[in-house]
Structure 1
Amino acid sequence: MFKTPVWTLELIRDTDAPFERVREALLDGTRYGAWHPVYRQASPRVLNEEAGSVEIDCEASPFPGVTERMRFQIRQQEGRVLLLYAGRFKGWAVPLLLGWWRLERKDLWERFVRAL
């Protein structure tokens, strides 16, 4: 039996935007279309929240038969906010589309910061 293909992409950036503003923008799933290359609607949920740190999870389908599990982490660090994205793509079309997704998502955080 063949295993379903899986691919993971991680992106890290920082910003000087206020922590609360970044947190609110990541929890507003209806605004994802302003900065995410695929999603116009998302249902983000908070997994873990501590002082100066939030972990947010979201799952959607960028292509029929493929799921993308998005994990966002934001942390306050030395007067800046560290932005971490980990996307896990799973489905049979993944090997055909991973190059396209890498190009689409390489400037994900830049688009996010501009949309703030």
Structure 2
Amino acid sequence: MDDNEAPTFEPDLIRAIFKHIWIKKAQERERNGFPNTEAGDSEVGAGTSKKNRPTSANTNALKLSCELLRIFITEAIQRAGTIAEAEGSTMIEPTHLERILPQLLLDF
């Protein structure tokens, strides 16, 4: 990694997290009586209908998701740090994060 490049999340990690969530949602839909239309590792064939294809994310979407997550966490740390500093603390405590979270979620 270059010195100028900000650290970010690995796209493979984000893909694994997304895949885990997609599989859980598909299993949840199955339990509720809806057909499983997204989970699985099967390859998409030429004649496969959109309804039966597994969910996937393209490379650019994963890179964008990594960058959005990096920015979100950086902003959360900066805001919590500001609150901690205003209280005279040198460490960010969970209560600092709890205080900035509502506005942070509204901003994002």
TM range (shorter): under 0.3
Higher relative contact order, chain-length normalized (CA < 8 Å, sep 6+): 1
Between structures 1 and 2, the one with greater strand share = 1
Looking at secondary structure, tell me which structure has more helix per residue. 2
Radius of gyration: which is bigger? 2
